[in-house]
Structure 1
Amino acid sequence: MPEVLILGGTGEARALAARLADDGVDVISSLAGRVRNPRLPVGDVRIGGFGGREGLADYLRENGVGTLVDATHPFAARITPNAVDACDDADVPYLRLARPAWEPGPRDRWTRVPDIAAAARAVADRGGRVFLTTGRQDVSAFAGVDNAWFLIRVVDEPDTALPPHHLVLRSRGPYTLANERALIDEHRLDLIVTKNSGGSLTSAKLHVAAERGIEVIVVDRPPEPAGTLSVSTVEEAMERVRGLLG
């Protein structure tokens, strides 16, 4: 019976699973299955959804889960409220592990927008040569933008509508400053679109944008459920989980 269920898919989730396993804690990691060949964490893994709040609550009860750690991506907006509610239903402690958001520095030219639709409108207003790094599920929002050329960087090939002028680049981070400088120069990119995912794996493009004076359209994170127990590092999560498991 797993003592800890990690809702994963992030580097922090994999690191936490490894740390807990080293401590002798039974861990099972759950991945949504949206990436075809995900990086798998240490320990047992299940892939696919639970069937919403009710299905997750049933899983927690039936499998004797002692603690749920929600270490999903900051933009996985649907699973987090479902997990909070399911833990309430099943009387299982809930912990949110979410990496800190990026913050602009003095040299950054950020335009912050509330969602992907607003990002697409901002690109349509500007045109140019766009580095689109929001993930394959959001590419279709830019399909109607015909006055810009897009370099679309994704892990898996998009299966939705694409903008008329584009090149798809399949790639997986982490990315270095040298790599991002070369890519931006090669394709003469003058606008970057990203979600505020936080972390170091994909932040190099922001540093290059600041160096070059390139504008970055940054999609703000969806709000987290109010009143939840939340930490921002794997070390903090380890301490909290130890306490929750007694």
Structure 2
Amino acid sequence: MVEISSVPPIADCSKTLWLVGGTQESIQLAEAIAALQLPCVVTVATPSAKRQYPISSTFRVEVSRLQPETVSQFLQQAQIAAILDASHPFAVEISQLAIAAAEAANLPYLRYERPQLETGMAADLCLVDSLTTLLNSDLLAQQRVLLTLGYRWLADFQPWQARSTLFARLLPSVAALEAAIAAGFTPDRLIALRPPFSIGLETALWQQWQISQVVTKASGAAGGELIKRQVAQQLGVKLIVIQRPAIAYPRQTSCLTAALAFCQQQVQIAL
């Protein structure tokens, strides 16, 4: 939960916050922002994501894939006064777009970066610095591999279909399933589920498919990484974790309460 301070609600304000959404933490922040009646627009990538956010007279959610040539118009039309970037740690393009937009328009920017897990030295944990590094190695050779990376990266694994037995877990969407099939995955090697996933469900799936390796992103506890680590250790499965991309955020925090305080402060300044 995000702690809401004693700052009074603000309903009448011509300046608006831009919350870059797409994560569980952004939903928590949105609920707190809506409760405080801070004017805010949140952008998400899909209609299904939009349905997870609150409804409020001072709060709206837009399904939008902003581009460098459209972001300036968005800032002006929405009367954005500050940007809180709570997107996924691997959503590089939207974070870079928000940073560039903040610099161009001289707007306050804060990145909420979910905490990373301790690296540790477990024998079943393998860290790689990028997808390219993994694909150019022999780590996956002759293995039964479960990919939990999202559908946009599946095409990169197509050359590996002949060198290993690949499985993929996806969100239940037409786009995800079509991308997986185009990348060479057969229906019997796909499962479409929406997180979160319990330890029991992870364990049962890995055992059912006789998985020897799992590939995931360093998405933190909120992204299910901790549960995967626990199941990997329990089953003796190698967990390959792709580390987060290095982004030079102008200002960042891993505290939800500090992120909310930033929103309150910026709306007060804009009054």
Give aligned pairs, total.
242
Which of the residues 229, 232, 237 maps onto 1:206?
A: 229
2:66 aligned with 1:50: yes
Matched residue type, 1:177: I
**1:88 CA drift (Å):** 1.5
1:59-86 Cα distance to aligned partner (Å, 9 max, x none):
2233221211111111111111211111
Counterpart position of 1:159: 178
**Pair 187,3 (structure 1): closer, same or farther in 2 beyond 3 Å:** same
Amino acid at match of 2:208: E
Paired with 1:108 and 1:173, the residues of 2 have a C-alpha distance of 26
Query: Structure 1 runs of 4+ off > 6 angstroms?
Result: none
Relative to structure 1, is the Cα distance of residues 153 and 125 closer, same or farther in structure 2, using a 3 angstrom cutoff?
A: closer
Aligned equivalents of 2:96 and 2:115: distance in 1? 19
TM-score of the pair, normalised by structure 1: 0.89
Partner of 1:96: 111
CA–CA separation in structure 2 for the residues paired with 1:164 and 1:230? 38
Give the secondary structure class of the aligned counterpart of 2:197: coil
Letter in 1 for 2:242: V
Contact residue 137 and residue 158 of structure 1 kept, 8 A: no
For 1:77 and 1:108, the matched residues in 2 are separated by 30
Percentage of identical aligned residues: 24
The code of the aligned residue for 2:67 comes to G
How far apart, in 1, do the equivalents of 2:154 and 2:42 lie?
28
Deviations 1:101-143 (A, max 9, x none): 2333343522222222322334665321111001000011111
Contact 1:3 1:65 in 2 (8 A): yes
- 2:98 and 2:210 map into 1 onto residues whose CA distance is 43
Structure 1 unmatched ranges of 5 or more:
none
SS of the residue corresponding to residue 159 of structure 1 reads helix
Matched, 1:114 2:129: yes
2:96 corresponds to which residue? 81
CA distance in structure 1 between the partners assigned to 2:20 and 2:261 by the alignment: 18
Q: Which residue of 2 aligns with 1:139?
A: 154
CA separation of 1:72 and 1:123: change in aligned 2, threshold 3 A: farther
Larger helix percent: 2
Contact 1:60 1:92 in 2 (8 A): no
Closer/same/farther in 2, CA of residues 8 and 55 from structure 1, 3 Å limit: same
Distance in 2 (alpha carbons) for counterparts of 1:84 and 1:237:
16
The aligned counterpart of 1:59 is: 74
> 2:96 and 2:223 mapped to 1: Cα distance?
26
User: Which residue does the alignment assign to 2:30?
Assistant: 17
* TM value normalised by structure 2: 0.82
Does structure 2 conserve the Cα–Cα contact (< 8 Å) formed by 1:7 and 1:69?
yes
CA-atom RMSD in angstroms: 2.1
* Separation in structure 1 between the aligned mates of residue 184 and residue 131 of structure 2, nearest angstrom: 14
**Take 1:88 and 1:201, find their aligned partners in 2: how far apart are those partners?**
29
State the distance in 2 between where 1:144 and 1:232 align: 37
Q: Say whether the 8 Å CA contact 1:70–1:83 is kept in structure 2.
A: yes
Cα distance in 2 for residues equivalent to 1:32 and 1:87: 20
Q: Which residue pairs with 2:48 in the alignment?
A: 37
| Residues 15 and 267 in structure 2, CA contact (< 8 A), matched pair in contact too | no
